[in-house]
Amino acid sequence: MNKAKIVIAGAGYGGMNAAVTLSKKLGANDASITLVNKHDYHYQTTWLHEPAAGSMEPDRARVKISSLLNTNRVNFVEDEVVEVKKEDKKIILKNGELDYDYLVVALGATAETFGIPGVHEHAFTKWTLDGARQVKEHIELKFADYNNVLDRTEGVLTFVVAGAGFTGIEFIGELSERAPELCKRYDVPREAVRMYVVEAAPSALPGFDPELVEYGMNLLESRGVEFKINTPIKEVTASGVIVGEGEEINADTIVWATGVRGNPVIEKSGFEANRGRVKVEPDLRAPGHDDVFIIGDCALIINEEANRPYPPTAQIATQMAKTTAKNIESLLKGSSNLEAFKFNNQGTVASLGGKEAIGVVGSRKIYGGTASFMKKMIDNKALLTVGGPMLALKKGKFPL
């Protein structure tokens, strides 16, 4: 008897949770499960603003995949996915290939540059663990540079965050909270540090409650953050960014956080996609490919109430993983009656660094300590879901 082969590509929130859930749902005789990922670790993408700003050790934001999996039930392959050969039912890896009967594509996202010149050359765009380490060390180098450079008008300690969405706001929240400590450590006067957030849209955190946005901006401004809202970035150069009508901000550090697009593997593999995201069927399968599920940042699902796509978040990726696992279980049982995905919004909280945050849970707006508490609970819940109580205990955030 040939067991069905399930391959899960990517071990982010979507893929990791799909692997863990499937390994619990399915017996050893039902199917073989293979998880393939570029690194041997899973990391908390939603935490990366902390190691990037240096307020958390990068190692704390990751966990060995082998420690999350029942390795008797799930094969783990450390390799990079290059392409999905849909017609051949296999995926090409950098160092090999894998056949599948059912494939879960959970390959995450990459930075969206909107074609603005110079972004890849001069800005930090990688919101990965390796990318976060690089931002952290770059920031500390810039503080160390300060007392050694002759011309400080060239932006040695000017930090520009492109984009006032979640990632940008959470990152500047951490950095602005940590700046005084960095100034002390490197003998830098506080006023030497300039922090800008540049956003093309008419508001920070577009779509978020305006009252909370104002609370957040006021708080960040009190820490020295300067907002340039309604201000598109024209170009990123070796010396800074050109914004609005040609104004130049000299800056040695530009962090790119204007949003994401789906993994390039999607387009390379010939899936019909919009900014690298596939508009999936209600059951999360790729249109026309009944053996391929696409979840997380590579999947596009319309929020019917708002008539626009749900933003790609850890929360929605985790929920998609559960639905996918359920649907694969049904398929293995011979059922074609798959469940339609339904997003259950459990609230959204943006941390602002330190003990500050803003958020909406249900219909309630929260901010300050309450929101910060809630944010930490959400972070712990993600650990609990993927790794159980031992992981939450080991890596979790003490909420008070």
Determine how β-strand 31-37 pairs with β-strand 4-9: parallel
Q: Could you tell me the sign of the dihedral formed by the alpha carbons of 304, 309, 314, 320, in that order?
A: positive
- DSSP lists the bridge partners of residue 261 as 110
The residue written with tokens 């492109």 in the block is: 162
Answer yes or no: are the C-beta atoms of 108 and 263 closer than 8 Å.
yes
- DSSP lists the bridge partners of residue 260 as 111
Which residue in the set 5, 136, 289, 376 belongs to the binding site for a copy of itself (CB under 8 A)? 136
Residue 99 tokens read as: 């056949």
Residue 351 tokens read as: 């941390």
**Cα–Cα distance measured from residue 30 to residue 261, given in angstroms and rounded to the nearest whole number:** 35
126 binds a copy of itself (CB under 8 A): yes
264 binds a copy of itself (CB under 8 A): no
Answer yes or no: are the C-beta atoms of 11 and 19 closer than 8 Å.
yes
Min separation Cβ 144 and a copy of itself, Å: 4
Which residue in the set 134, 203, 237, 330 belongs to the binding site for a copy of itself (CB under 8 A)? 134
Phi, psi of 23 (to 5 degrees): -65, -25
**Scanning residues 6 to 35, which ones bind a copy of itself (CB under 8 A)?**
none
- Binding piece for a copy of itself, criterion CB under 8 A, among 140-148, 232-240, 359-367, 387-395: 140-148
Q: Among this protein's residues, is 191 annotated catalytic?
A: no
Q: Active site residue: 170, 174, 281, 356, which one?
A: 170
The Cβ of residue 100 has, within 10 Å, a number of other Cβ atoms equal to 22
Which residue in the set 66, 70, 147, 346 belongs to the binding site for a copy of itself (CB under 8 A)? 147
- Binding piece for a copy of itself, criterion CB under 8 A, among 85-93, 133-141, 313-321, 362-370: 133-141
186 binds a copy of itself (CB under 8 A): yes
Q: Which residue's CB is nearer to a copy of itself, number 133 or number 365?
A: 133
Q: Which residue's CB is nearer to a copy of itself, number 148 or number 337?
A: 148
Pick the closest to residue 72 from 27, 6, 9 (CA basis). 27
- Binding piece for a copy of itself, criterion CB under 8 A, among 68-76, 141-149, 190-198, 251-259: 141-149
Which residue in the set 143, 159, 271, 293 belongs to the binding site for a copy of itself (CB under 8 A)? 143
Answer yes or no: are the C-beta atoms of 352 and 219 closer than 8 Å.
yes
138 binds a copy of itself (CB under 8 A): yes
Q: Please report the DSSP string for 18-52 in residue order.
A: HHHHHHHHS-TTTEEEEEEESSSEEE-GGGTHHHH
- Rg from Cα positions in the chain: 22
- Binding piece for a copy of itself, criterion CB under 8 A, among 128-136, 190-198, 239-247, 323-331: 128-136
151 binds a copy of itself (CB under 8 A): no
- Binding piece for a copy of itself, criterion CB under 8 A, among 83-91, 93-101, 138-146, 329-337: 138-146
Kindly determine how many residues on this chain lie close enough to bind a copy of itself according to the rule CB under 8 A: 20
Answer yes or no: are the C-beta atoms of 240 and 228 closer than 8 Å.
no
**Scanning residues 50 to 89, which ones bind a copy of itself (CB under 8 A)?**
59
340 binds a copy of itself (CB under 8 A): no
Which residues are catalytic, by number? 170
Q: Which residues bind a copy of itself (CB under 8 A)?
A: 39, 59, 126, 130-131, 133-134, 136-138, 140-141, 143-145, 147-148, 185-187
